Chain A
Amino acid sequence: MKRIITVTVINQSGVLNRVTGLLMKRQFNIESITVGHTEQPQISKMTFVVNVEDEQKLEQLLKQLQKQVDVLKVNDITEKSIVVRELALVKVVAPPTVRAEINSIVEPFRAATIDTGKNVVTYQVTGNPEKIDAFIDLLKPYGIKDLTRTGVTAFVRETQKVHTPQLSIL
């Protein structure tokens, strides 16, 4: 099962290595990872998307993360009401003949044109990963020259819909 996990850490060198190293050592697969500092410069927040087999493995993952000395807080926010965002830059082959057509496809996604060449246009699109997948799928037939995705970052919403069950002893 795919889980979104946020980890608040002390922002010092080696901490990313420590956390990803731990995941590797315990055989967890990271699907995406984003890191940046928070409103406090000495504290960073990482957002992971990981694939875990079952509840037991998930609990183990959270506890092992929590055990790290540089880790302040670990949250599995998958079941919570959250905002999930990812950003992608997509460079598409768009000769003038089809450019209008492409623009019309892109428009509902509220993607921004950030660079234009003679035959190539680069779009920036943000949203949840599914939206970005859809965006890429639509542009594929025109020929994607280059693509880069940031990975997921996420936030818990202020108002929570339902109470999520807590794992036993965290």
Chain B
Amino acid sequence: MKMTVEETEQMYEEPEASVAPKQLDGADVLIETLKKHQVEVVFGYPGGAVLPIYDALHKNPIRHILARHEQGAIHAAEGYARVSGKVGVVIATSGPGATNVVTGIADAMMDSIPLVVFTGQVATTVIGTDAFQEADIISITQPITKHNYQVKDVADLPRIVNEAFHIASTGRPGPVVVDIPKNMATGIFSPTDETTGEVNLPGYQPTTTPNFLQIQKAANAISTAKQPLILAGAGVLFAKASDQLVKLAEKYQIPVTNTLLGLGTIEGNHPLFIGMAGMHGTYTANMAIQTCDLLINVGARFDDRLTGNLAHFAPNAKVIHVDIDPAEIGKNVPTEIPIVADAKEALLALLEQNAPNGNTAAWLESLQINQEEYPLFYEASEEKGLLPQQVVELIHEYTNGDAVVTTDVGQHQMWAAQYYKFNHPHNWVTSGGLGTMGFGFPAAIGAQLAKPEAKVVSIVGDAGFQMTLQELSLLQEMRIPVKIVILNNQALGMVRQWQETFHGERYSHSLIPVQPDFVKLAAAYDIKGYKIETYEDAKAQLKEALASDEPVLIDCRVVQKEKVYPMVVPGTALHEMIGVKPE
């Protein structure tokens, strides 16, 4: 029998009040709860165990982005979460679907990205029997989630979903996994007084308000310091406290450095900003850490890539550490003034103290001298060829510092961090803690969905891009105007650099001269491709490509031997960094 669309739709319509209201099953309840949390978009991939959930998702206003691999889905959700400040939502099926999101979960855990990941599971009746597509995702993800749940009673579903969103998005954000056995999704939900979904988490009460005494101590230390320094991390971004941070820095004339993930908390061209610190940070920032008498860490976790050799880190500094996670305070660096709080609340409290200003003029001047003497540098010449740093600088120029930039991990990431000066917070999406290759491109898709009006540029390496390039399908299908810029050096650049520097130039499995033709690859997905080999080409073509409203792929053939400098060699202290000046 043939039916018109209208007739078909009528079939699905609720019958008039003649019968009892349709009984909801677990999957319906899940979707309803997602709506309550104002979830606009979910990233996922269907499969056997999540069929009921996908059935409930069908004909539903929640937008579903069908990635071409679950890893692409979760990285896109991470990009979405980082740029929008909302919780990223992922759905994957049981077994391989669930294990495919493990990398993204670990990535989100390391970088504190709020995610709620729904995984399908075999029915509770067969859990533990090695059923088809069964994987114990609860045990697998236990050390890489903020918390995880397996639904064992349909009645618990609303509460568990509410708690998952609450845990993911409050305190120090992070990923929460909710494992839903198939019979929980199909099970009938009978509402009672017990199933209101009220959050019940007696063991989870993040401290957001700072301790007043510590704030007083901190304000006092700030006003008496001669050489204070602010180290701003991603905690400032999660707290949406960039304005307060800049206000504090300006009021007390304190220079600011960033962690890799903290970039964007202060404008890249702000006179008080002295660049990123750490392994590939600026000489000025690292020396400032080593010579400051007060180090004000706001929302950073003193990661090893930032601190270098801990024994010699910030030897003269009294340390103030503002962090919402008490476990981060004192973990790596002894702290005189611990402040467990939301960064915004702490900064507001510090500003309220209105302590008298110290005099930091001499300190700022000495940093200024360092900045002039030891700027970031590269040596370009026509014979040498196109340099990756030049490409990043051009991207910055053509996007006026307003673009959302995403990256993987490695050389291209460091060049992007060094040379792209962000005007605004929440525009920098990179895999910091876990250092995940293949993160940047799918993350850009999520970022673009979060900010449809923004220019989103995914700066990736040729190797990392090939780890998740199947998501080109999404650009093709939805015309998502992401600009993919491949800094193509036909190598695993950072591995190659370390092999050159630390392993006697033995390039063990790090050079990959055989590659797909990226322009043709783009064409296969109906995406315009560019191949750029010289600086002159770059100027003209990058400008055109970045101005496009369509997705584009730009294959930039850059000098293979170019190294990221300056550098803190592992095991050494920040002030011992090498490559600080042209030879």
User: Which residues on A are within 8 Å of B, measured CB to CB?
Assistant: 9-10, 13-14, 17-18, 21-22, 25, 56, 59-60, 63-64, 66-72, 168-170
B326 on the interface (CB 8 Å rule)? yes
When the two chains form their complex, are residues B143 and A168 in contact, meaning their CB atoms are under 8 A apart?
A: no
**Known pairs A21-B142, A169-B326; A60 contacts B203 (CB<8 A):** no
**Known pairs A56-B330, A63-B326, A67-B327; A18 contacts B142 (CB<8 A):** yes
Ranked nearest first, the 4 interchain pairs of A and B with the lowest CB-CB distance are A63-B327, A69-B147, A69-B204, A72-B203
B293 on the interface (CB 8 Å rule)? no
B21 on the interface (CB 8 Å rule)? no
Given contacts A14-B138, A66-B326, 13 further A-B contacts (CB under 8 A): A13-B152, A14-B150, A17-B139, A18-B142, A56-B334, A64-B327, A67-B327, A69-B201, A71-B203, A168-B338, A169-B326, A169-B329, A169-B338
Complex interface: chain A residues within 8 A of B202 (CB): 10, 72
B288 on the interface (CB 8 Å rule)? no
Complex interface: chain B residues within 8 A of A10 (CB): 202-203
Q: Which residue of A lies closest to B338 (CB)?
A: A169
Complex interface: chain A residues within 8 A of B327 (CB): 60, 63-64, 66-67
30 contacts between A and B (CB under 8 A): A9-B203, A10-B202, A10-B203, A13-B152, A14-B142, A14-B150, A17-B139, A17-B142, A18-B142, A21-B142, A21-B143, A22-B143, A25-B143, A56-B330, A59-B330, A60-B330, A63-B326, A63-B327, A66-B326, A66-B327, A67-B325, A67-B327, A69-B146, A69-B147, A69-B167, A70-B147, A72-B202, A168-B338, A169-B338, A170-B326
Per the 8 Å Cβ criterion, residues 321-369 of B in contact with A are: 325-327, 329-331, 334, 338, 340
Complex interface: chain B residues within 8 A of A22 (CB): 143
Please report the C-alpha to C-alpha distance between residue A168 and residue B152 in the assembled complex, in whole angstroms.
Answer: 40
Name the interface size band of chain B.
20 to 34
Complex interface: chain B residues within 8 A of A63 (CB): 326-327
Please report the C-alpha to C-alpha distance between residue A62 and residue B523 in the assembled complex, in whole angstroms.
Answer: 56
Q: Which residue of B lies closest to A18 (CB)?
A: B142
**Known pairs A69-B167, A69-B201, A168-B338; A60 contacts B146 (CB<8 A):** no
Complex interface: chain B residues within 8 A of A64 (CB): 327
Complex interface: chain B residues within 8 A of A170 (CB): 326
Complex interface: chain B residues within 8 A of A67 (CB): 325-327
**Known pairs A63-B327, A169-B329, A169-B340; A70 contacts B143 (CB<8 A):** no
Chain B nearest CB, measured from A39 CB (Å):
16
Complex interface: chain B residues within 8 A of A9 (CB): 203
When the two chains form their complex, are residues B203 and A69 in contact, meaning their CB atoms are under 8 A apart?
A: yes
Please report the C-alpha to C-alpha distance between residue A21 and residue B145 in the assembled complex, in whole angstroms.
Answer: 12
Chain B nearest CB, measured from A61 CB (Å):
10
Chain B nearest CB, measured from A26 CB (Å):
10
Q: Which residue of B lies closest to A168 (CB)?
A: B338
